[in-house]
Amino acid sequence: MKVRALADISGPMGRKSVGEEFVVGATEGKELVDRKLVEAVEDAPVKPTKEPKTEA
C-alpha cells in the first residue's frame, strides 16, 4: 500500500517526513491511516508508450 506521511513518523519503515510517500504492507498501512498518521495514495495508471518501429 502506498501512503503519504501526514506527520513526521518513525517505525519499522524508517523515519519519514511530512509529505513523503512510501510503501508499507496493507495491515500496517490501514493502522497508520486509522491513526491519521498517513493518507493512502492512489497510483496513477501508467500510460502505455508506443515503441518506435524499426526498419529491418
**Domain presence at residue 5:** yes
The pTM for the full model equals: 0.72
Per-residue pLDDT of the chain (56 residues; tens, 9 = 90+): 999 999 999 988 899 999 999 999 999 999 999 999 999 998 766 666 676 666 65
**Phi/psi at 32 (5° precision):** -65, -40
**Domain presence at residue 37:** yes
Residue ranges making up the domain that contains 27: 1-9+22-43
**Domain presence at residue 3:** yes
**Domain presence at residue 53:** no
Start-to-end Cα distance in the chain: 43
